[in-house]
């Protein structure tokens, strides 16, 4: 196991955005081994300390603890302890509820600086934001969480919304809402304080420690929505401390409260089904759209340069739709078992009945323009907003 520690990019003030990669093959992506990431998004102390503790815990227990050893050997784990090192350094007054360090050197909240699928964001990209977007293009991340302070809740997409995503019902949900609720509950249920809900003064009561981002408050241009829509990565937001800057002597308790949740959430990188798409000659096919029928993404999820796909699904029966330009869609049924395989998603390769001549460029580049894709969604016939809301109501009342 190699554990290279290196920086990818620089902040506005020239500080490194460090990332540590832990895995059996940390230096490069290997087919079948999913990439996971944790990012401490702003300046708060707790989140940075938690990720540093997590790094130490993983490295120390590899080869000793079977669970940690299997996790490290079956996934590539990327940990960025601070996306905003400039903000961390400028903090002078360690206030529980407000921090000027949430902003970067340019006095801008980086978690309001990403492209937004629901409204235009004409703000220029700050160096840290551009660095993370570039990072996402070069990796096959499939699961992620970004860490914050100031509340105690696991929040899932969407953060922003329009009527077509359910905003008229004070929610904004993705086609994979069941998976996101499951992921948020996985984390919250193992944190003894978070799962109680309503543990912070002057904060909302979050049942079971979970909320839809838009239901809480609708921030725009956040990293969570960007990951899901443009980077093909399921990401939730973890608010892990009521106080942004608790006393130093309290920091170890946060590790004790969050250790089990941090580990269990990483294990969900093996949720659902994964595999490769090949042509008739056995050549892997990049840029192929692989999605579940009836839960298509507004920016279609495509195979990477190795012809790989990863689909996050809960146990059940699904129809997979494989779309290659110039050919009829290929439909096949897949059953995700109730009991997941040992540190691996269900593996399902597909061999299509033609020779492929597809573009093999780095397909982690966004396949959709960085504009509000939901502004005119959906475009098919009928009254799509009414149909979506009716489906959402049925889901709420009869799930």
- What is the set of active-site residues? 239
DSSP string, 155-221: EES-SS--GGGTGGGT----TTHHHHHHHHHHHHHTSTTGGG---STTS---GGGEEEHHHH---SS
CB within 8 Å of 391: residues ≥ 6 apart: none
Contact call for residues 19 and 80 (beta carbons, < 8 A): yes
292 CB burial (10 A radius; 0-12, 13-18, 19+): buried
Cis peptide bond prior to 378, omega within 30° of 0: yes
Contact call for residues 109 and 102 (beta carbons, < 8 A): yes
Which backbone phi and psi does 265 adopt, to 5 degrees?
-65, -40
Q: Which helix (H) or strand (E) is 389 found in, with range?
A: helix 384-398
Chain centroid to CA 292: 18
Nearest to 113 by CA among 139, 88, 86, 132: 132
DSSP string, 70-108: HHHHH-EEEEES-S-HHHHHH--S--SS--GGGB-TTS-
d(CA 357, CA 354): 10
Expressed in percent and rounded to 5, the helix, strand and coil fractions of the chain are 30, 25, 45
CB within 8 Å of 302: residues ≥ 6 apart: 232, 286, 287, 288, 289, 290, 309, 363, 367
């Amino acid at each position: 196991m190699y554990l290279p520690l290196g920086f990818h990019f620089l902040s506005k003030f020239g500080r490194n955005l460090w990332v540590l990669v832990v895995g059996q093959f940390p230096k490069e992506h290997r087919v079948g081994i999913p990439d996971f990431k944790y990012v401490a998004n702003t300046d708060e102390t707790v989140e940075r300390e938690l990720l540093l503790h997590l790094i130490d815990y993983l490295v120390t227990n590899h080869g000793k603890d079977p669970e940690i050893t299997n996790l490290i050997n079956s996934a590539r784990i990327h940990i960025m302890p601070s996306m905003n090192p400039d903000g961390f350094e400028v903090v002078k007054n360690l206030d529980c509820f407000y921090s000027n360090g949430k902003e970067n050197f340019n006095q801008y909240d980086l978690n309001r600086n990403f492209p937004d699928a629901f409204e235009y964001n004409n703000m220029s990209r700050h160096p840290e934001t551009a660095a993370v977007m570039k990072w996402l293009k070069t990796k096959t991340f499939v699961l992620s969480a970004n860490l914050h302070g100031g509340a105690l809740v696991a929040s899932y997409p969407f953060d922003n919304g329009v009527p077509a995503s359910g905003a008229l019902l004070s929610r904004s949900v993705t086609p994979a809402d069941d998976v996101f609720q499951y992921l948020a509950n996985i984390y919250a249920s193992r944190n003894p304080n978070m799962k109680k809900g309503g543990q912070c003064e002057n904060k909302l009561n979050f049942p079971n420690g979970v909320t839809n981002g838009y239901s809480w408050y609708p921030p725009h241009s956040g990293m969570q929505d960007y990951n899901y829509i443009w980077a093909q990565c399921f990401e939730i937001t973890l608010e892990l401390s009521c106080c942004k800057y608790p006393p130093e002597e309290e920091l170890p308790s946060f590790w004790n409260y969050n250790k089990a949740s941090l580990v269990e959430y990483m294990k969900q990188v093996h949720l659902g089904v994964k595999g490769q798409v090949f042509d008739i000659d056995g050549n892997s096919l990049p840029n192929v759209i692989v999605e579940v029928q009836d839960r298509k993404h507004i920016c279609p999820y495509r195979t990477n340069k190795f012809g790989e796909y990863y689909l996050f699904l809960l146990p059940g029966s699904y129809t997979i739709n494989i779309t290659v330009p110039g050919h009829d869609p290929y439909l096949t049924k897949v059953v995700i078992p109730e009991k997941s395989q040992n540190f691996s998603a269900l593996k399902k390769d597909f061999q299509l009945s033609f020779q492929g001549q597809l573009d093999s460029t780095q397909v982690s580049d966004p396949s959709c323009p960085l504009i509000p894709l939901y502004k005119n969604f959906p475009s098919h016939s009928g009254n799509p907003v009414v149909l979506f809301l009716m489906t959402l109501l049925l889901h709420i009342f009869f799930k």
